């Protein structure tokens, strides 16, 4: 197995903040250790779940460095480095690479809405400029543009583009990528509710929000799928259903941060324009945590 090939459960890490709004380095270190001890197969700092849009450049690089230090080679560190300015994306990618990340996660450029050939040019320029593998992130709900299957497959031919995180929720599109990809190229679900379906179709795992709260369960789900034990995987999928739904009652990572605060893992502090979970959703989040035994009802 190629050690750079991403499989299983990767957690899209939330970023803990102190009550004053600074990065909570102690909680971050403890959180990374808990995630790895709970069986996750790789970690993903500084993505949208990590509130990367509101991090300073110094904070961004410090979070990656802490994740790398705490992981200590136990799991890959797939660091977010996205920008809708290709030059800025390259610059940040080089700094993140120097901070020790093993892979880079790059969302398709948002707001600019480039055509498919512009998306190809963007990712190829980044891939040519760095030495570590890139994960293409297709998330139309945030970028307002879809990376078509043909475009992903074209990018997959680049030797430094190693995977796609597919969050289009378009199972036909994802299936087309799986059928025609190079053998070395990983297809990862970017939607927690679809992990089992994507893996049943031949996908390789998930970059998960839910695993922030339930790392052991989501990791085991991917392991059962990889082993072809879909009966056991289905049981876990159903066990996680209430939590997975609760994780998206408001914009990610608002519910995840609230859940982790209920579990005592970190403070429920977000950066504007994100705000804490609305009171009307707190009962549903707590009930979802109780359903997997993470808190008492």
Domains of the chain, CATH where assigned: 8-227 (3.20.20.70)
The pLDDT confidence band at residue 283, using thresholds 50, 70 and 90, is very high
- Catalytic positions, please? 137, 165
Average pLDDT, the chain: 97
For residue 191, pLDDT over 70 is answered with yes
Prediction pTM value: 0.96
Distance separating alpha carbons of residues 166 and 177, to the nearest angstrom: 10
So what's the pLDDT on residue 1? 46
Location of structure tokens 């480039």: 114
Distance separating alpha carbons of residues 155 and 288, to the nearest angstrom: 39
Angstrom CA distances, 284 to 180, 257, 268, 281, 297, stand at 41, 14, 16, 5, 11
Distance separating alpha carbons of residues 98 and 112, to the nearest angstrom: 28
């Amino acid at each position: 197995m190629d050690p750079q090939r991403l499989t299983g459960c990767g957690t899209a890490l939330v970023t803990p903040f102190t009550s004053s709004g600074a990065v909570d380095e102690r909680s971050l270190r403890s959180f990374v250790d808990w995630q790895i001890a709970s069986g996750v197969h790789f970690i993903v700092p500084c993505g949208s779940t990590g509130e990367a849009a509101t991090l300073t450049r110094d904070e961004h690089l410090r979070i990656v460095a802490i994740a790398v230090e705490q992981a200590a080679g136990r799991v890959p560190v797939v660091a977010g480095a996205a920008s809708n300015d290709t030059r800025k994306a390259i610059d940040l990618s080089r700094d993140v690479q120097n901070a020790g990340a093993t892979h880079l996660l790059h969302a398709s450029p948002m707001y600019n809405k480039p055509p498919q050939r512009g998306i190809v040019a963007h990712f190829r320029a980044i891939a040519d400029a760095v030495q570590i593998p890139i994960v293409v992130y297709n998330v139309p709900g945030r970028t307002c543009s879809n990376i078509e299957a043909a475009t992903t497959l074209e990018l997959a031919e680049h030797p430094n583009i190693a995977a796609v995180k597919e969050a289009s929720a378009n199972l036909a599109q994802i299936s087309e990528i799986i059928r025609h990809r190079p053998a070395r190229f990983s297809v990862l679900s970017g939607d927690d509710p679809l992990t089992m379906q994507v893996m049943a179709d031949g996908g390789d795992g998930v970059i998960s929000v839910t695993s922030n709260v339930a790392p052991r369960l989501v990791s085991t789900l991917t392991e059962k799928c990889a082993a072809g034990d879909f009966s056991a995987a289905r049981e876990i999928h159903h066990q996680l259903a209430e939590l997975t739904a609760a994780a998206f009652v408001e914009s990610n990572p608002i519910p995840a941060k609230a859940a982790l605060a209920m579990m005592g893992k970190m403070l429920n502090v977000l950066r504007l324009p994100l705000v804490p979970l609305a009171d009307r959703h707190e009962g549903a989040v707590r009930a979802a945590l109780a359903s997997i035994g993470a808190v008492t009802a």
